[in-house]
């Protein structure tokens, strides 16, 4: 033993344990590190369990345990997948809009009815409470069932009136009125305060055109139901609507305005993106390569986290070995 060195003897379970001064200092350092680690773990557990007195401390403590390792890696992976999925859904919607607009042009050429103009007319009838696509779908269903442009406008205006009085969603009310008129389903109209009695509606319409209710065609029955619906809306809600006046949902109108801006972006995106999608559809190898590049970009963002964990593990091992 060197001069000036201190020798410490400890009794552990009846067996002597001798430590030099240098070894004792190493043990002291290691115990100090262990204490700090235990304190850190205690803070993290308290944060996760929300055991601290306020939310800020809980978040601070919990963040100390997630600043490295698997959590950031998983967050990076989830964010990348979410962004890719959102972009893909946006392009899908853009393609749907492009198909809708082309379908309206073809229908206009075949029937002479400007579907695009009709859809915008329905939007105006609801005081811009429905989007262009919602109006287009309703217009297509109504025209297929034999409803005229004026009848569709009346139903759109009626949907806005009913919604203001009953505090309902305009697109849902308009959809119920369209389906109720074309399918003659009373249960769709009950929630709007409209009681449809098919027999009464067809009999009254038959008297108007001089035909018995039993001999009405499918088109005439649709006309009878539509007339009865618009009549009830006017009788039940017309006077109340005059008292309510212009009381539109401004946020719905803002949503429609923003929807028009997004639709312009969708049209441009479809023009640019669909040729790429068509190329990938026709070339399997190219599609596989594109998927591989996307996967590689995500893996590169995640792998460094595992390397960092590995490096920290090596450093911790070295510290433990140096302590003794």
Residues in the chain: 324
CB 269 within 8 A of CB 91: yes
Task: Report CA torsion sign: 220, 223, 229, 234.
Answer: negative
Q: Note the pLDDT of residue 297.
A: 67
Q: Note the pLDDT of residue 48.
A: 47
Q: Note the pLDDT of residue 175.
A: 93
Q: Note the pLDDT of residue 150.
A: 92
CB 108 within 8 A of CB 116: yes
Alpha helix segments (H runs only) across 126-197: 132-144, 149-166, 170-183, 186-190
The angle at the Cα of 227, spanning 191 to 152, to the nearest 5 degrees, equals: 80
CB 91 within 8 A of CB 270: yes
Phi and psi angles of residue 17, each rounded to the nearest 5 degrees, phi first: -125, 115
Q: Note the pLDDT of residue 314.
A: 73
d(CA 123, CA 128): 5
Which tokens sit at 276? 């790429």
CB 150 within 8 A of CB 137: no
Q: Note the pLDDT of residue 43.
A: 53
d(CA 100, CA 93): 10
pTM of the model: 0.63
Q: Note the pLDDT of residue 115.
A: 87
Of residues 139, 145, 98, the one with CA closest to residue 271: 98
Low pLDDT (below 70) residues in the chain: 1-74, 76-77, 287, 290, 294-313, 316, 319-324
Residue indicated by tokens 């103009």: 117
Please state the separation of Cα 319 from the chain's center in Å.
49
Q: Where are the domains of the chain?
A: 95-265
Of residues 162, 149, 141, 143, the one with CA closest to residue 122: 149
d(CA 298, CA 40): 31
């Amino acid at each position: 033993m060197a001069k000036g060195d201190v020798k410490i003897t400890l009794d552990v379970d009846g067996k002597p344990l001798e430590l030099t001064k240098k070894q004792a200092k190493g043990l002291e350092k290691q115990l100090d590190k262990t204490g700090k680690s235990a304190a850190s773990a205690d803070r993290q557990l308290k944060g996760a369990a929300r055991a601290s007195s306020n939310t800020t401390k809980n978040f601070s403590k919990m963040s100390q345990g997630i600043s490295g390792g698997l959590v950031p890696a998983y967050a990076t992976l989830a964010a990348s997948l979410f962004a890719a999925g959102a972009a893909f859904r946006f392009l899908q919607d853009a393609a749907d809009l492009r198909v809708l607009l082309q379908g309206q042009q073809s229908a206009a050429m075949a029937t002479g009815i400007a579907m695009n103009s009709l859809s915008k007319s329905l939007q105006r009838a609801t005081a811009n409470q429905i989007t262009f696509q919602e109006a287009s779908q309703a217009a297509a269903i109504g025209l297929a069932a034999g409803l005229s442009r004026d009848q569709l406008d009346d139903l759109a205006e009626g949907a806005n009136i009913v919604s203001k009085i009953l505090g309902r969603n305009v697109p849902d009310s308009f959809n119920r009125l369209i389906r109720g008129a074309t399918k003659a389903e009373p249960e769709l109209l009950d929630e709007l305060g409209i009681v449809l009695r098919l027999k009464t509606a067809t009999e009254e319409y038959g008297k108007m055109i001089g035909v018995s209710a039993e001999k009405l065609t499918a088109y005439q029955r649709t006309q009878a139901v539509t007339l009865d619906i618009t009549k009830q809306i006017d009788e039940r809600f017309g006077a109340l609507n005059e008292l309510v006046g212009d009381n539109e949902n401004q946020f719905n109108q803002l949503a429609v305005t923003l929807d028009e801006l997004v639709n312009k972006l969708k049209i441009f995106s479809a023009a640019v993106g669909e040729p790429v999608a068509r190329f990938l559809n026709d070339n399997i190898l190219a599609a596989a390569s594109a998927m591989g590049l996307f996967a590689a970009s995500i893996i590169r963002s995640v792998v460094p986290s595992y390397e960092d964990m590995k490096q920290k593990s090596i450093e911790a091992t070295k510290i433990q070995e140096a302590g003794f």
